[in-house]
Structure 1
Amino acid sequence: MIAHYSAAPDAMTRNMALECSRNRERFEFIAWCRKALGNLRVIPPGNGIMHQVNLEYLASVVTASGGDGDRLAYPDTLVGTDSHTPMVNGLGVLGCDVGGIEAEAVMLGRKLSLRARGRLRVHRASGATDQFDVLMRLDTAEEVTCYTHGGILPMLYRESLAAGRH
């Protein structure tokens, strides 16, 4: 939404009315898509910017699955077509900035391949070191400072070791 009106008690109402009148056909089409497609969630205008909407309404941030020694954690993803898309990475969602054709292909069901391989090294209190392959490592120095467990993968690995599932 563009702010054409500001510094007035009714600015939000006036901006929303203008936005809805200018984009009526788009909003009607989106409403039809929501009804016709079972897997589409629509967040109405006026509920926040894309990154906020993604986190508050759509994102799971991290999903964990598996058990019995086979635990897997993977981040939620966002595929977008503008330069602001990667900003959501700082909020815990893996944002990928792609071209328009690529984004359309994803919307039509084509898989987007995100591959990054690496090794995770864990230093035990005893002095021993364990290593294992990871498909994607998202930890940064800032995350380690912010989260004392060092990120979701090290935390799950520590829990697995503590439970004897290594």
Structure 2
Amino acid sequence: MKSQRLVACMISVVLAATGPLFSQDAANPLRKGKLLKRTIKDGTDNYDLAAYSFKFGGNGPEVRKLCRNNWELLFGNSPEGDTFDVTMVTDDRSRIRDLGKLDWNQKFHVPAFPAYEEPVREPSVKAVEGHMYLVRSRDSNTDLYTLFRVEKLVPGEYVEITWKIIPKPKD
């Protein structure tokens, strides 16, 4: 019995040392969101529906009042087409990384992901259906990590995501 406990303890230590592994869990349920491609039509900008706040859990005019136009994610604002951007405000040091094709029920490693030291415009990242993304949102008001997955992409129109805020990955 002691040797079984010792083996279980050693396995736990090895897994903890390899960095965080994530999969779906009941304690941190997935949330859903939809972002429209950013457009300006007849003088009307749909920015509120193209941007998303993980901190406040949504988008649209009501969430804009809460987040004070300080969003964490923007869809379809690049001339490159269906892309994500994370640089939103003047002091933004946010980052985004495509982790590849992953599903929430898989276990996968989430890398440590430092924010920029100084405000920098992070390059746009292509939206790909079935891919998981890690966002490090960092500015003077926010410091959070979010995983999101593209569940559906209608090119040139919108993207549907599932997401959750996660603890800071360990180095």
Fold agreement, TM-score > 0.5: no
What TM-score does the superposition give when structure 1 sets the normalisation length? 0.23
Q: Which has the higher contact order (CA 8 A, sep 6+)?
A: 2
Report which of the two has the higher share of strand: 2
Query: Larger Cα Rg: Structure 1 or Structure 2?
Result: 1
What TM-score does the superposition give when structure 2 sets the normalisation length? 0.23
Report which of the two has the higher share of helix: 1
